Structure 1
Amino acid sequence: MFKIGDMVVRKSYNSDILFTVCGYRRQGKNVIYRIKGACVRIEADASEDDLMPVEKTRKEQFTKHYDDIVERIKLQIKKERNSNTGFRSFGSEGDILKRPGRVLHLDGDIDYLKECLSIYRELNIDVVGVEVREEKQPDVVLELLNRYKPDILVITGHDAMKKGAVDRLDLSNYKNSAYFVQAVKKAREYEPSLDDLAIIAGACQSCYEELMEAGANYASSPQRVLIHCLDPVFICEKIAYTKINDIINASDVLERTISGKEGMGGLNTRGKYREGLPNYSKRVN
């Protein structure tokens, strides 16, 4: 038997994705494993005979590929910050008060949420992360928006299109797209303006068209592909650190995602970065 934490691949999918074993159950004489993508947002069940352990060298190849992409994007962001020292920095400089956009991130998977939060903080993004199961997100999103009052809302978790489904616009053909759509609609009841609240919604293979129609600024997945868990984070950074008077071109945002235009799509969106005077954080009573 495989153990929780083991790294595996699926034979039936030509070993294309690296998974971590996160649970198992017995089904008659068979053992069914719950596996989670190590680098992409996917969760699935697999029989024991479909799984194969990953050799150390193969594991290193998988992880290095995605780590290299993440580091490239982080380096790109740092270069942008350095070339715009007049405003693209967190906190304060002299008497100037600087406020990037605030993020509220709802995620159905605590492990992916923790990974996202670590990168948000590395990029100096003001963020609150809340683990909420996908089916519960429509029920709690209004209360959380009223509590935290973010500039940017992320609604994500796990999703998948049913095998053999033909109608890509039928929400019943998706695992969780209907919940994401409901949550976006609820958020738009709180703030109808796409300029005042930027929403990034969806997960792997989500129904992109319905999410956009519901009111998302950015959503997954135009080509129903798997997305990297950090894609929403890099979109948030661009929105959070672009001046409030500037409109971000959608193509510029999507270039900094790992999944690209196949995995994420969206609209030109207003930035959330503000400057002001005086810097009250350095003043003494």
Structure 2
Amino acid sequence: MTGIKVGQIVGRSSYNCDILFRVKNIDGNNAELCGEDMRLVADAPVDDLIIIKEQDRKRMEKIQRQKEESCYHLFRQDRKLIRERNEYQVTSGYTKKNSYFEVPGKVLHLDGDSLYLKKCTQVYDRLGVPVYGVHMQEKEMPLQVASLIEMVRPDIIVITGHDSYSRSKGEESDMKAYRNSGYFVDTVKEARKVVPYMDHLVIFAGACQSNFQSLLKAGANFASSPERVNIHALDPVYVVSKVSLTPFMERVGAWDILKTSLTGKQGIGGVETNGSLRRGMPQYMNEE
């Protein structure tokens, strides 16, 4: 008896415990796993699982947090440069004392993992990006996305959760070989029925190993995963935050999002897109 229970943090012995997983469900000798930091869902025999000791878990989590903080500070540096450029433009090269305010693009974030959603929301708040987060199963997303767009009126939408690609079930072009890519594709299509234009509603879609080409073809601006690799839980946040905080008269290119992502070009890609931030004058104070 292994003693594996739902909710425990485990690693797969056959993969040298390279990824931390949460045990989501156990059915006999089969366990359904969700990545603790990666947007990956996997099945594994219970007897292949190893419970990660607290000290090992803390060590691995510390390394992961360091990567996340490095990405955060890189993003903040980039944001600072944009703000300085905006201030230079508004003040006509610092020759006038014009005050202004900024309205970042609003994000609707649909997530198949409630813990990831909470983690993502915390980062949005740190970055100053307005977000309306909704947790729901991936299969529910195509049914709910249209009404949510009408209610929230977002500038940007994130469609994510968990996914995986199984080579044994088909080629990369075969949607049956993916756990949730089909739901993500259908959700993008439903969103585009409401807002057809890519610069009127910016869409990020996908998770670990998702069908990148199909997601872009369905109408996503940005998606995962070009080389069917795992992506970090926070990658969608940094992609759309870059769009949210870039002035709408400027373009966000593929390189712009890759340099502040945790995964890079193997896991994230897309097409150039207008930013969503708008500037206004004069500056005013919000009354609570």
Tell me the TM-score normalized by structure 2: 0.89
SS at match of 2:168: coil
1:94 Cα deviation from its structure 2 partner: 7.9
Residue 165 of structure 2 contacts residue 178 of structure 2 at CA under 8 Å; is this kept in 1? yes
Judged with a 3 Å threshold, the aligned counterparts in structure 2 of structure 1 residues 260 and 126 are, in CA distance, closer, same or farther, namely same
Counterpart of 1:70 in structure 2 is 68
- In structure 2, the partner of 1:46 is 44
SS in 1 for 2:47: helix
State the shift of 1:109 in Å.
1.1
Q: Report runs of 4+ in structure 1 exceeding 6 Å deviation.
A: none
The equivalent of 1:212 in structure 2 is: 216
Unaligned runs of at least 5 residues, structure 2? 88-96
- Cα distance, 1:44 vs. partner? 2.7
User: What secondary structure sits across from 1:164 in the alignment?
Assistant: helix
Which one is further off, 41-50 or 184-193?
Answer: 41-50
Residues 36 and 97 of structure 1: CA distance in aligned 2, closer, same or farther (over 3 Å): same
**Aligned-residue offset at 1:97:** 2.8
- Displacement of 1:279: 4.1
CA distance in 2, matches of 1:177, 1:216: 13
Quick one: structure 1 residues 131 and 100, their matched pair in 2 at CA, closer, same or farther if it must change by over 3 Å? same
Q: CA deviation at 1:140?
A: 0.8
- Structure 1 counterpart of 2:271: 267
Aligned to 1:250: 254
The one-letter amino acid of 2:71's match is I
The structural deviation recorded for 1:169 is: 1.1
Q: How far has the Cα of 1:146 moved from its partner?
A: 0.5
What TM-score does the superposition give when structure 1 sets the normalisation length?
0.90
For the Cα contact (< 8 Å) 2:142–2:183, is it kept in 1? Answer: yes
Specify the code of the residue in structure 2 equivalent to 1:10.
R
Structure 2: how far apart are the matches of 1:198 and 1:23? Answer: 34
CA distance in 1 between partners of 2:178 and 2:263 (Å)? 20
Deviation at 1:81, TM superposition (A): 3.1
Could you tell me which amino acid in structure 2 is paired with residue 191 of structure 1?
V
Q: Post-superposition shift, 1:163?
A: 4.0
Q: What's the C-alpha RMSD, in Å, of the aligned pairs?
A: 2.1
Match for 1:18: what amino acid? L
Q: Which amino acid aligns with 2:164?
A: A
In the TM superposition, 1:146-161 aligns within 5 A as 146-161=150-165
Deviation at 1:84, TM superposition (A): 3.8
Give the Cα separation in 1 of the matches to 2:72 and 2:134.
24
Counterpart code for 1:2:
I
Residue in structure 2 matched with residue 228 of structure 1 by the alignment? 232
Letter in 1 for 2:20: L
Paired with 1:175 and 1:23, the residues of 2 have a C-alpha distance of 16
What amino acid sits opposite 1:275 in the alignment? R
Tell me which residue corresponds to 2:22. Answer: 20
1:101 to 105, 120, 124: 105
Partner of residue 125, structure 1: 129
Structure 1 residue runs without a partner (length 5+): none
Give the Cα–Cα distance (whole angstroms) in 2 for the partners of residues 2 and 175 of structure 1.
24
Aligned length: 275
Q: Which residue of 1 aligns with 2:91?
A: none
Give aligned-pair identity as a percent: 39
How far did residue 40 of structure 1 move?
A: 0.5
Instruction: Report Cα offsets for 1:227-280 as digits up to 9, x if no partner.
Output: 111000001111011111001121121121111111111011111110112345
> 2:145 is matched with which residue: 131, 141, 163?
141
Q: 2:79–2:245: 8 Å Cα contact kept in structure 1?
A: no
